[in-house]
Amino acid sequence: MLSKKAKYAIKALIFLAKNIDKPPLPVSKISEFEKIPRKYLEVVFLELRNAGYIFSKKGVTGGYVLSKPPEEIFLVGIVRLMDGPIARVSCASAFHYRSCEECLDEATCSIKQVYLKIREQELEVLSGTSIAGMIENEYAAHALSI
């Protein structure tokens, strides 16, 4: 399941991408518009800034802007940053592998086999979905509903 932290990070990045041609946006405006608690958003932005996704400008005209084009920001990086490993079980993780204590034979474990498939499908979707693509889908869905 996607954590609130990851969801808030994605929503905030989409908001910044939609306002890419504007001056830096204050966290208060993003928080208010996206209905994200301000203190929580500040923590999320600290992580996004440290990972190089956003840039912060201090001062009266300060705020946040994207550090990368929205076409280069993929959900896989955001979800890993905010939530950690993609795999739901450690024995199916590519980067955080640990064998299961209770597993008698990992090579024939049906649970591992299912979760490897789930991880691969999830990785495919997350790796192929950019912030720009999400905005395009949103605009397309909105146009269809008019």
Mean pLDDT in residue range 4-11: 97
Average pLDDT, the chain: 91
Which of 130, 137, 142, 139 is closest to 66 using CA atoms?
130
pLDDT confidence bin for 146, thresholds 50/70/90: low
Segment 122-127 mean pLDDT: 95
Encode pLDDT of 21-57 as tens digits. 999 999 999 999 999 999 999 999 999 999 999 999 9
Quick one: residue 66, left, alpha or beta (phi over 0 = left, psi -120 to 50 = alpha)?
A: beta
| Domain extent listing, the chain | 4-66, 85-129
- Can you give the pTM of this predicted structure? 0.87
Per-residue pLDDT, 107: 79
pLDDT of residue 91: 78
Of 88, 91, 17, give the one whose Cα is nearest residue 48: 17
Q: How confident is the model over 65-121, as pLDDT tens digits?
A: 999 999 999 999 999 999 988 877 777 777 777 777 777 777 778 888 888 898 899
Instruction: State the alpha helices, DSSP H only, in 2-130.
Output: 4-18, 27-34, 38-50, 75-83, 110-127
For domain 4-66, which CATH number applies: 1.10.10.10, 3.30.70.2740, 1.25.40.10, 3.40.50.720? 1.10.10.10
Give the pLDDT score at 81: 97
pLDDT at 71: 98
- Give the phi and the psi of residue 101 in degrees, each rounded to 5: -60, -35
